[in-house]
Structure 1
Amino acid sequence: MNEAAEVRFFWGQLGLPGLIDVHTHFMPEPVLDKVWAYFDAAGPLTGRPWPIAYRHAEQQRIDTLREFGVRAFTAMLYPHKPAMAAWLNSWAADFAARTPDCLHTATFYPEPGAAEYVAAAIDRGARVFKAHVQVGAYDPADPQLDGVWGLLAEAGIPVVTHCGSGPAPGKHTGPGPIGAVLARHPRLHLVVAHMGLPEYADFLDLAARYPNVHLDTTMAFTDFTERLAPFPPALRPRLADLRDRVLLGTDYPNIPYRYAHALDALAGLGLGVEWLRTVCWGNAARLFGVAGG
């Protein structure tokens, strides 16, 4: 059985119409080349090589997701310096226009004018935003972002945010800085990337405290991550309790293993068929208004 057949068998057995993956990466080719170069050199950060499993041309990467039966996915992209986000948003709007199964994605950076270009992205149809506190090396509670968080909270648009301290901590990672944002904007639809690894318990606490906080499963529970930052088995009952707030994410194409392995890792948690159905389709379908199942 080839991988596409494996993935389709996975969701077919669950009685789903496919998958919704809230954490996949598409970005301008020169930017993606730099991201891949970073992962090629990630060994010193993680102590292990990080080979890109799906290092293909853009159309092939899109076709692969479609072959897997991923019905909706994102174009997670992010700036690492000022005067970059608006350009990325323009590219992402064009990508979404020519890729109808992509949830129109946008981003931002703490800089003058951030609220204005975020408002413009919303007006253009952005359905999800990406914030990368680790790569951007900024405080999410920076005053220049207060208007941005306010706009997104008011609009109810989810923000997938890498705010945990894995794979390597940053000055503003961890639950504290993003917790300060939530205290000011408690209605914000925040999606904590990677289950907040390695501060899993702390981010589960935030989800329990704020009803619009979700967590995505990106790279969590896989053999690769379990060797770096294992998810404590004692926390599994909390995953079950918060099943309506957990979303499938993978980090495709930037993963050092097969896509099917991420799904097998979720099944291996032993949380049951309904949990898998909710995580792999239901929660994201509700959050983003995706029809079909």
Structure 2
Amino acid sequence: MAVRTAAAVRRFRDRLGLPGLVDVHTHFMPARVLDKVWEYFDAVGPLTGVAWPITYRHEEEERVALLRAFGVRAFTAMLYPHKPAMAAWLNSWSAAFAARTPDCLHTATFFPEDGAAEYVRRAVDGGARIFKAHLQVGGYDPNDDRLDQVWGLLAEAGIPAVVHCGSGPVPGKHTGPAPIARLLGRHPRLPLIVAHMGMPEYGDFLDLADRYREVRLDTTMVFTDFAERLGGFPPEELGRLAALGDRILLGTDFPNIPYPYDHQLDALERLGLGDDWLRAVCHDNAARLFALDA
């Protein structure tokens, strides 16, 4: 399957004349943490509620090699804590991973706890280029006072944070657009990337992107056959999606996806928004954001 997928992705890139893909939503974690994530998916955990087979259940080196074979020139190590006293350790691991994996954008994370601003500052000083926050898994309010300095620091440094803040696949206590709207009201220059385009509250998160110039959305799992069964993207919003084409970024959730990697690309192409839109989403927007061609 990997060979067929690599060939399909290559045809997609060649047709668009892309030097590669930039995927802002891929997962690399310490092995014992990723094993727990996979166990959760295997058990049809309550945050998914559906069978979710992991297509790319491989060792770390093979997963990196697969992304390279797919022509992904830059990717991330999305990782996130579900409890206190975990984020700093994850950041140490991800710094080492980025050091040995030069095509990975050095990724970091945080949790609402005493000392969060200090270890986030260390991560930024150490070269972190993107952060991940998972409000659903972490079960926290992004407006927690212990995170105010963190958001301010990221806004000042211009470092984006990918935030799982939509209520899909099931709502959490602090998911949905309202907490993020309050956050952006205090930090309007925060470069926030809405994971999964805010599924299923797509329109509300598009509203926030209209209001705040530094808000972007990633495509992770959106428009795929799997996600459409859970609650599809509203066709009436396609015009706004096209208009925001400079702030949509390719994300896939690799390796934790229940279908081949190229299906995400097929799902984007069949929207019919044009080759220029696809080039921007799959490469140019993220290449500009992370100064990959500088």
Query: TM-score scaled to structure 2, two decimals?
Result: 0.98
Name the SS of the counterpart of 1:131 in structure 2.
Answer: strand
- 32-41 vs 190-199, greater mean Cα deviation: 32-41
Among 198, 201, 208, the alignment partner of 1:199 is 201
Among 109, 132, 140, the alignment partner of 2:142 is 140
8 Å Cα contact 1:153-1:185 kept in structure 2: yes
Q: How far did residue 48 of structure 1 move?
A: 2.7
Correspondences of 1:1-293 after superposition (within 5 Å)? 2-42=4-44, 45-291=47-293
For 1:151, give the aligned amino acid.
L
Tell me the distance in 2 between the aligned counterparts of 1:49 and 1:237: 32
Name the SS of the counterpart of 1:274 in structure 2.
Answer: helix
8 Å Cα contact 1:43-1:50 kept in structure 2: no
Tell me the distance in 2 between the aligned counterparts of 1:167 and 1:233: 19
For 2:76, give the aligned amino acid.
T
Name the SS of the counterpart of 2:230 in structure 1.
Answer: coil
Tell me the distance in 2 between the aligned counterparts of 1:145 and 1:41: 32
Tell me the distance in 2 between the aligned counterparts of 1:121 and 1:47: 34
Gaps of at least 5 residues in structure 2 are: none
8 Å Cα contact 2:41-2:48 kept in structure 1: no
8 Å Cα contact 1:23-1:74 kept in structure 2: yes
- How many correspondences in the alignment? 292
Tell me the distance in 1 between the aligned counterparts of 2:234 and 2:160: 27
8 Å Cα contact 2:165-2:177 kept in structure 1: yes
Tell me the distance in 2 between the aligned counterparts of 1:46 and 1:111: 27
- Provide Cα deviations, 1:32-74, integer angstroms capped at 9, x if missing partner: 0011111112265545310000000000000000000000000
For 2:127, give the aligned amino acid.
G
For 2:160, give the aligned amino acid.
P
Gaps of at least 5 residues in structure 1 are: none
Name the SS of the counterpart of 2:7 in structure 1.
Answer: helix
Task: Sort the Cα spacing of 1:56 and 1:223 in 2 relative to 1 into closer, same or farther, 3 A.
Answer: same
For 1:189, give the aligned amino acid.
P
8 Å Cα contact 1:12-1:18 kept in structure 2: no
Q: How far did residue 166 of structure 1 move?
A: 0.4
8 Å Cα contact 1:174-1:199 kept in structure 2: yes
